[in-house]
Amino acid sequence: MNGFAWKLIGLVSKLLERDERDAVLGDLLEGDESGWRGMLDVSGLVFRRQAALWKSPRPWLAAFVVTFPCSYLLMRVSISVTCTYERLVNHKLYACWPTGHEGFPLLLCHLVLLIAWSWSGGYIVGSVSRRTLWMSAALSVAPVAFCLCMSGPGFPSRVCLFLFLLPAIFGVQRGLRNAPISSRTAFLLAATITALMISAWSNQALWVHNWALVLPAWYLAAATWRPRSGLRSVSHAGAGQI
Amino acid sequence: MLGEFEYLLITVAAGLGENAYGAAIREEIEATTERRCSLGALYTTIDRLEKKGLLKTWMGEATPQRGGRAKRMVRVTGQGMRAAKEFYEVIARVSRGASWAEIR
């Protein structure tokens, strides 16, 4: 088998579980398969495994109910935060992204909200759909890619589109690791986000659709809450195997 | 009742005994049936049969021939043997009198 085909097979096989990947790659080496047949074999198995995963509603929820809409909203918040920063610090105005009357306190509030929304959304996606994460990752980048293509002059730095991705990736990593989060922490996070949102809302500095972004944090709080059951992660609350 | 491929897999795994694992089972199935057996079909069927309690699998030894990767070993359970026997008997009964079924 040539090096390129083997690398490709190795890449595709990453979608399999570790033990299965070991067994399958070992079988291919032992059978001295051609690159084409090996690729066909591994992608066939990956397809079957993925198809089985998508029979559950969880990957659909994670990808299309959480990731895609949240990414779109968070991308807008990222741009808004950048525009506000540019206006306050560099006195630069963007016609297509009016930033209203926010001062530094509201900018800070939005920055904290952006991080908290992204992290909690990422945590939920990571713990609920670990084996279908590739779809959630693609859908989280889709609005950004669309915006990158559509952006023209009068648009703030393109880097700002990715502001939400870093905290979201940290959240996903924690979700993937099944890192336990205490119900107290989860409630504190949800309550803080809600309080900050109310503050921004009362200052007319919150887009009405952004209220949807509080849902992952409250889901996290609800999932970790079990009377007298100790402090468990959301995945232990019945979410994690997909 | 078992499916055709499930029966094939169980029979081949039982025949291979201690040496039943993915690559060996696949090679034997291809040699016997003269048809291609995809790894996707093989491993998803192994999983299904294991869930039904007809097979037991575990990760075996790693060999240099396999680039240091472990084998997924397979053993047919008693329940698996009974299911295969039942399938064979049904096929034998239903084939009686069929023009293509030779009596040897």
A6 or A147: which leads in pLDDT: A6
Query: In chain B, which residues have their Cβ closer than 8 Å to the Cβ of A41?
Result: 38-40
**pLDDT of res. A239:** 44
Cα(A126)–Cα(B89) distance, integer angstroms: 49
Question: What are the structural domain ranges in chain A?
Answer: 3-53, 57-224
To the nearest whole Å, the CA of A191 is away from the closest chain B CA by: 44
Of A18-32, A226-240, B7-21, B59-73, the range with the highest mean pLDDT is: B7-21
pLDDT at A233 over 50: no
Percent residues over pLDDT 90 in chain A: 36
A227 or A241: which leads in pLDDT: A227
To the nearest whole Å, the CA of B27 is away from the closest chain A CA by: 8
Out of A116-130, A197-211, A220-234, B35-49, least confident range: A220-234
pLDDT in tens, A97-124: 655 677 888 888 989 999 999 999 999 9
Query: In chain B, which residues have their Cβ closer than 8 Å to the Cβ of A22?
Result: 59, 62, 69-70
To the nearest whole Å, the CA of A235 is away from the closest chain B CA by: 23
pLDDT in tens, B35-55: 999 999 999 999 999 999 999
Host domain of residue B26: 4-95
Residue at B101 is within a domain: no
| DSSP letter, residue B35 | S
Residue at B104 is within a domain: no
pLDDT at A19 over 60: yes
CA distances for A203 relative to A33, A100, B81, angstroms: 65, 10, 73
Domain count, chain B: 1
Cβ distance of B70 and A19 shorter than 8 Å: yes
**pLDDT of res. A1:** 62
**pLDDT of res. A82:** 84
B69 touches chain A (CB under 8 A): yes
Percent residues over pLDDT 70 in chain A: 86
Tokens at A123, concatenated: 């945590």
Nearest alpha-carbon partner for A95 in A103, A106, A87: A87
**pLDDT of res. A151:** 67
Cα(A91)–Cα(A104) distance, integer angstroms: 13
**pLDDT of res. B72:** 95
Query: In chain B, which residues have their Cβ closer than 8 Å to the Cβ of A6?
Result: none
Tokens at A62, concatenated: 């994670």
Cα(A54)–Cα(A48) distance, integer angstroms: 10
Cβ distance of A29 and B27 shorter than 8 Å: no
Tokens at A160, concatenated: 């700002």
Query: Which residue among A20, A30, A52 places its CB closest to the CB of B23?
Result: A30
Residue A123 contacts residue A222 (beta carbons within 8 Å): no
Which of A41, A42, A55 would you mutate first to test chain B, the one with the most B CBs within 10 A? Answer: A41
Query: Chain A residues within 8 A (CB-CB) of chain B?
Result: 19-20, 22-31, 40-42, 44-49, 52
**pLDDT of res. A143:** 84
Cβ distance of A31 and B27 shorter than 8 Å: yes
pLDDT at A51 over 80: yes
Closest chain A residue to the Cα of B27, Cα to Cα: A31
Query: In chain A, which residues have their Cβ closer than 8 Å to the Cβ of B21?
Result: 23
